[in-house]
Structure 1
Amino acid sequence: MEVRFFQVDAFTRQPFKGNQAGVCLLEQMPGDEVLKSIAAENNLAETAFLLPVENGYHLRWFSPKVEMKLCGHATLASAHVLWETGLVAPDATISFTTLSGVLTASRENGWITLNFPARNCDRVALPDDLRRLFADAIDVAFSVDRYIIELPTGAAVADFVPDRNILAPYLVVLTGKGSAEGPYDFISRYFATPVGVDEDPVTGSAHCSLATYWAARLHKNEFLAYQASPRGGELKVILEGDRVLLKGEAVTVIEGRFHF
């Protein structure tokens, strides 16, 4: 079997920045074990698998360990590949059927807009080990499957040195308010060892939670956000009711084929 493959840097306009995603264009859907093996072979935060269906594409996402229920950067990368290869008309909106329902992608002036579900945040107490690690946390919430931990400043988020042993069992999003002098409303980082990613470079799904979190904190619904991983990435985030619009750019860095 032969599958067209692309590697895309998402939520950036520069190669070697943003978040890396694999994109596989399928003519038929292989078994789950094959999909898991391809994702493990890529060893990227996520690999997206696209199969044409009526009115769009069936889209699945796999980390090196598990199938994911929602992934922003690999959806952005998938839309980018479909437009860049000419499989979808340049001005067409793309519909993806996923484990999180129907998601759409559109494009304007080089920016791709993803329409994703908003994720609610509930205030909780941290487990003891995380409370010791984040003794300076000023707010804590839980959203779907991950802790949202606010530190005193965005700079504190960027400067945080992770303790991999303590973080290993948890999905953790760190966030902090941007500085008054800077362009960003908030800064974030995401640690996701349970799904095979020690630190994710730029995370669309995390911003589905951060949009609702910061809307309540800042009393606004449009944000410019920065994820301060070593690769770094920028997103425009808009909360519209129970949906979040994630806007970003992307660039293809590798094109090839899988043979198996």
Structure 2
Amino acid sequence: MPSVPVEYSHSKYDSDPNAGHELDSLPDDHTKSDRDSQFGMHSTVSRFRAFIDASTQQGGNACTLISGYSSDPAQQKGVFTDISQYLQTLQIPPLFDGALCLLSSVDIDDQTPSNPSDSLSFQVSCFTPSGDMIQCCGHGLLSTAFHIFQSMSSGSPKLASESSTIQLVMGDSTVNATLDGECVWLQFLVIETQPAIHAWLPLFFTGFDIQAVAQTSAADGYLIVQLLDDSDLAKVQLPGSALANFSQRALIVTTAVSGSGPHNMHFRYFAPQYGVAEDTATGSAMRILAAFWHPRFQFLNALQCSTQQGVLKSVFCHDHVKVGGFCVRDNTTTI
């Protein structure tokens, strides 16, 4: 399975027939010292939900964050075969689900930049529950940034007051993150889309009025379908495995919302070609939609109409886009 730019919800993995494989990184007979060689004395495992509804604290996409990982996460590609087995091997209660994020640098006091104008930089890698590295995991990045800002605030208030921006390095990408009140913002480069024509699309949108179709350049990137304003996205059927017969692109379905409600755009995200029937809250898709809806909208307040739902924000800034959202930490354990 390629390292595609998609995010993964946790629902499909509950009955994964491939779960329970042996782990290459930590064999079953590992000792506590083996574990300690990869994790610091104060490493934590936390379950977050990213892109929640701030008013209700509900919804959002689940993410398990292990902070204090002493090995370089960038070198861990493909070594995790099942998150639940991995956490069990570490003697961690099975309280966590969703994507797995590894944060290598967590000693905030050691992260003081030599130049006050420089940003603190942290290495992070994200994996699906089946062990594949996620190329761009928006909810994982949001959860990681939220965790770091919380750590800075509680562990080093002076540093927190001086550092308005941090850098998260994921693979070949560097993402700036800022905190505005309780809202975390991630900055991405603009990914352009081009108009597209696909004669097969009406097969998946019977009864809907397709207004526009666009796609990113990569063959395994994104396909965006804009429906008539105020379309009821809940009535869009899951494309299922049939989508792979026509495209290897993840499918984003979107509609503008009129009226005076809290949201001016709705969307849903499907990537069944990569095992994701539908994602819960997809920050990587939101960065695409920020550019797609410009110039009609410079600011988006979006509702992702999945079962769990997600609330996402974006700002288009000419040469970059910002994707924002709120997080909640559901639980934490120390290893």
Answer whether TM exceeds 0.5 for this pair.
Answer: yes
Distance 2:172 2:233 in 1: 29
Query: Is the 8 Å Cα contact of residues 39 and 63 (structure 1) preserved in structure 2?
Result: no
Distance 1:226 1:16 in 2: 13
User: C-alpha displacement at 1:172, in angstroms?
Assistant: 0.6
CA deviation string 1:74-101 (max 9, x = no partner)? 1110011122234674443211112352
Amino acid at match of 1:61: C
Matched, 1:202 2:244: no
Could you say which residue in structure 1 is the equivalent of 2:77? Answer: 32
Could you say which residue in structure 1 is the equivalent of 2:30? Answer: none
Higher radius of gyration, 1 or 2: 2
After TM superposition, list the pairs within 5 Å mapping 1:84-123 onto structure 2.
Answer: 84-86=150-152, 89-91=159-161, 92=163, 93-123=165-195
Distance 2:81 2:46 in 1: 17
Q: 1:214 aligns with which of 264, 277, 293?
A: 293
User: C-alpha displacement at 1:40, in angstroms?
Assistant: 8.0
Secondary structure (helix, strand or coil) at the match of 1:198 reads coil
Aligned-residue sequence identity (percent) comes to 23
Query: Is the 8 Å Cα contact of residues 257 and 264 (structure 2) preserved in structure 1?
Result: yes
> What are the ranges of 5 or more consecutive residues in structure 2 without an aligned counterpart?
1-34, 87-95, 112-119
Matched, 1:234 2:302: no
Number of residues of Structure 1 aligned to a counterpart in Structure 2: 254
Query: Is the 8 Å Cα contact of residues 205 and 236 (structure 2) preserved in structure 1?
Result: no
Distance 2:239 2:301 in 1: 28
Relative to structure 1, the CA distance from residue 125 to residue 74 in structure 2 (aligned partners, 3 Å threshold; closer, same or farther) is same
RMSD of aligned residue pairs (Cα, Å): 2.5
Query: Is the 8 Å Cα contact of residues 110 and 249 (structure 1) preserved in structure 2?
Result: yes
Could you say which residue in structure 2 is the equivalent of 1:161? Answer: 237
Distance 1:183 1:94 in 2: 29
Secondary structure (helix, strand or coil) at the match of 2:293 reads helix
Relative to structure 1, the CA distance from residue 40 to residue 20 in structure 2 (aligned partners, 3 Å threshold; closer, same or farther) is farther
User: C-alpha displacement at 1:161, in angstroms?
Assistant: 2.5
Q: 1:69 aligns with which of 132, 135, 144?
A: 135
Relative to structure 1, the CA distance from residue 165 to residue 194 in structure 2 (aligned partners, 3 Å threshold; closer, same or farther) is closer
Query: Is the 8 Å Cα contact of residues 149 and 174 (structure 1) preserved in structure 2?
Result: yes
Distance 1:197 1:160 in 2: 16
User: C-alpha displacement at 1:69, in angstroms?
Assistant: 1.8
Query: Is the 8 Å Cα contact of residues 47 and 63 (structure 1) preserved in structure 2?
Result: yes
Amino acid at match of 1:78: T
Distance 1:126 1:232 in 2: 28
Could you say which residue in structure 2 is the equivalent of 1:134? Answer: 205
Q: Which has the larger displacement, 84-93 or 157-166?
A: 84-93
Runs of 4+ in 1 over 6 A off after TM superposition: none
Matched, 1:56 2:121: yes
Could you say which residue in structure 2 is the equivalent of 1:23? Answer: 65
Secondary structure (helix, strand or coil) at the match of 1:138 reads strand
Q: 2:254 aligns with which of 150, 175, 200?
A: 175
User: C-alpha displacement at 1:131, in angstroms?
Assistant: 3.2
